[in-house]
Structure 1
Amino acid sequence: MKKHYVCLLLVFSFLISPVVYAQKKVRIACVGNSITYGSRLAQREKDSYPAQLQTMLGSGYDILNFGVSGKTVLKHTVNSYMATTAYQDALKSNPDLVFIKLGTNDSRLPYRLQIDTFATDYKTLIHSFRELPTHPRIVLLLPVASFLTDTTKQTEKAISQLILPRIRQVAFEEKCELIDLHSLFINHPDYFPDQLHPNEAGATIIAKRLQEVVVSQEEKGFDFFSKIKEPVTISSFYGYDCADFSMAGRACKVVKPRRPAKGLPWIWRARFWGHEPQTDIALLDRGFHLVYCDVAELFGNTQAIEAWNDFYTFARKAGLAKKVALEGLSRGGVYIYNWALANPKKVACVYADAPVLDLKSWPGGKGQAKGSPADWEIFKKDYGFQSDQEAMAFNRNPIDRVAEIVKGGYPLLHVVGDADDAVPISENTTPFEQKVKELGGQIQVIHKPGIGHHPHSLPDPTPIVEFILKATYQ
């Protein structure tokens, strides 16, 4: 009888208090200016990026739009965001997650004259949310690109030079997550009818990126830096913590994401650290680790491969995924392909950018390219060649070993400038691509018409990032 009485009480409690048993919705506060608010959109209530994010995430989330047009991070302006009722309402909402998309208006006159207080004021804003009872997850969003030409307003130059570096530094010092929306729009003026505010399609791009942030799975409790036994120096790599250390006499670097992605994926930069870092930053945003082990200038010889083998073993023992995405710019193409050839089962994919695939082309200069005589001598020394004749007979270039590369089974992406006269595609990527396809391999080549050896990468790295994500999670 007593047992039945307890059961009846439980049922009765459920009937009169259904809210207690309902799953709590995740509350997300979107803090920002006119772009967050949805200015210039015909139907901002459904087309602003917070509204679209609500549709994408569904009923398990409450997306709250606290955008106010024209507002600044800077406190001591007539348009300070922290002086608005929307700001107070955002605090009162007790969010679980806060997206902060401010900074665009701070780049215009007269506000940019106070830019020296921007970082301090941004930190004040962050702290006000961090101190809430909900202790929300805080994500800083880099401003989107601008296409205005009036130099008194929010120009691209002002945003890039004054705002982006300061937000990155704040993210580094406050250990906040950081999402680069800026590069997603840098080549897309078509999304900005008034040169400043994105249209509905642009808002969709923002919403989709934020949806990825919300639903991404984290590898909780993982800290690569705690696995490094050597003395370490920590610095900022575009807002992320970068550890510099030495291993077996070689300079090494590891950059860790704020929230390591499930499975601990990573990308390995072969050469030219920090040059055109768009892809690296975008992958850090998505929870990848970024690593570097200096083997310059060994041109991918046995000594270089052995050094990288040791670093790979270290990275795996630290916990990173079995397969790594390899990134090689210019001569880095030789580095990554030679290591991949020696370690095919450890490679998720290869991203090669204006890659050297035949050392006779560069640094040899034995074809169309002028080459580099000094580097040619280094290459000969690295491989133990006593004469040009011996070096010219070398047949272990990536372009000579396409069959082995294809057998490895990992997908390949090349980004090349069609007007490259330093590493001509006619001597490198074009014949390489043809051989890969003839053998049934997986290769995609992105051509940049009229572009030479520089600049590397793409201003908007989305195609590269999508290739790496697909290869990593397939």
Structure 2
Amino acid sequence: MHPYSLLTAAVVALALPAVAPAADPKPFPGQPTKWQGFARHDFRVGGLDATVVVPDAPLPGRPWAWRGEFFGAFADCDVALVKAGWHLAYLKVPDLFGSPKAVKHWEGFHAEMVKEYGMHPKPGLIGLSRGGLYCMNWAAAHPDRTLAVYLDNAVCDFKSWPGGQPKKLGTGKGSEGEWKKLLAAHDFKSDAEAVAYKLNPVDNLAPLAKAKVPLLLVYGDRDTVVPHAENSELVYDRYKALGGPVERVVKPGQDHHPHGLKDVAPVVKFFTAALEPKK
């Protein structure tokens, strides 16, 4: 087992940060380039590649959306959030599958973003495909540092993917090669140890539900890679039973691709509502 160790200035007071934001934020390092017309900064944090996209008019409290994986892929909602005043961030930790190693790297990045650059203590998380493992495992380990989680055809149980049919652990296509990487990322010594693991997102929702972290699930009901019944739908049913705030948008007949929604307004509305003062 590996335990895991719009929008006013008043919004900032709602958060009870575990890490205090910088009083005088530093500018992001690196010569800015352009991403979708916005300033993009690429720099290193803890020896890893990081990316931050800066909105033209940042919202009060400097909220940010944190992409779990695949920066720039199916990024309509990311672009819409930046247009709405959110910063967008990404830390490159591929092939770690949201393991405790990945969460540790995320902790360092989160501390840097908040302490040095004055970002909101609670980022909104975007978990696309395997990025769901990163986002949900971070949220379970740090519900006090999570604003809300948007999951898009997300992996919520690694037995389903990359396990799936090759390992007789799910109905999806799975991947033998990615399964081997997963074992290494978690330091599992055998398939049996991986199967016995109890901290997959589908099994570790209680910390999020207790903290009332909002979830938005968008998924196709014909996903042959990350089957919804083993991932998003299971999370929806279990989270609802736990009393956690959860919404979903089901795409009838849709496979794993394309990700996202044609109209991303529900995603922007979801994150905006998470920022608003609770009545």
* Normalised-by-shorter TM-score class: 0.7 to 0.9
**Which stretches of structure 1, 4 residues or longer, exceed 4 Å deviation after superposition?**
222-225
Displacement, 1:227?
A: 4.6
Instruction: Report the CA distance shift for 1:281/1:223 in structure 2 as closer, same or farther (over 3 A).
Output: farther
Alignment counterpart, residue 268 of structure 1, candidates 62, 66, 78: 66
Q: Kindly indicate which of the two structures has a greater share of residues assigned to helix.
A: 1
1: CA distance, partners of 2:125 / 2:132: 9
1: CA distance, partners of 2:87 / 2:196: 39
2:181 equivalent in structure 1: 378
2: CA distance, partners of 1:410 / 1:445: 14
| AA at the equivalent of 1:250 | L
1:345 equivalenced with 2:144 (yes/no):
yes
1: CA distance, partners of 2:110 / 2:72: 20
1:400 equivalenced with 2:203 (yes/no):
yes
| AA at the equivalent of 2:27 | S
Displacement, 1:223?
A: 9.7
2: CA distance, partners of 1:297 / 1:408: 29
Instruction: Answer 1 or 2: higher relative contact order, Cα 8 Å, separation at least 6.
Output: 2
Instruction: Report the CA distance shift for 1:216/1:338 in structure 2 as closer, same or farther (over 3 A).
Output: closer
Alignment counterpart, residue 279 of structure 1, candidates 56, 77, 81: 77
Displacement, 1:216?
A: 8.6
Deviations 1:337-369 (A, max 9, x none): 111111111111000110101100000112101
1:93 equivalent in structure 2: none
- Counterparts of 1:422-441 in structure 2, within 5 Å, are 422-441=225-244
- Counterparts of 1:16-415 in structure 2, within 5 Å, are 226-228=27-29, 232-317=30-115, 318-365=117-164, 366-415=169-218
Deviations 1:152-200 (A, max 9, x none): xxxxxxxxxxxxxxxxxxxxxxxxxxxxxxxxxxxxxxxxxxxxxxxxx
TM-score by length of structure 1 reads 0.52
The runs of 5 or more residues in structure 2 that have no matched partner are 1-5, 10-22
Please identify the structure whose Cα radius of gyration is greater: 1
The runs of 5 or more residues in structure 1 that have no matched partner are 1-211
Alignment check: 8 A CA contact 1:363 1:373 kept:
yes
Deviations 1:355-408 (A, max 9, x none): 101100000112101201101001111111122112111111000112222112
2: CA distance, partners of 1:408 / 1:374: 36
Displacement, 1:316?
A: 0.6
Q: Give the number of aligned pairs.
A: 255
Instruction: Report the CA distance shift for 1:223/1:458 in structure 2 as closer, same or farther (over 3 A).
Output: farther
1: CA distance, partners of 2:100 / 2:228: 26
Displacement, 1:289?
A: 0.6
2: CA distance, partners of 1:224 / 1:450: 46
2: CA distance, partners of 1:456 / 1:472: 25
- Among all aligned residue pairs of Structure 1 and Structure 2, give the percentage whose two residues are the same amino acid: 40
TM-score by length of structure 2 reads 0.87
Instruction: Report the CA distance shift for 1:223/1:404 in structure 2 as closer, same or farther (over 3 A).
Output: closer
2: CA distance, partners of 1:287 / 1:224: 17
Alignment check: 8 A CA contact 2:46 2:108 kept:
no
2: CA distance, partners of 1:423 / 1:234: 36
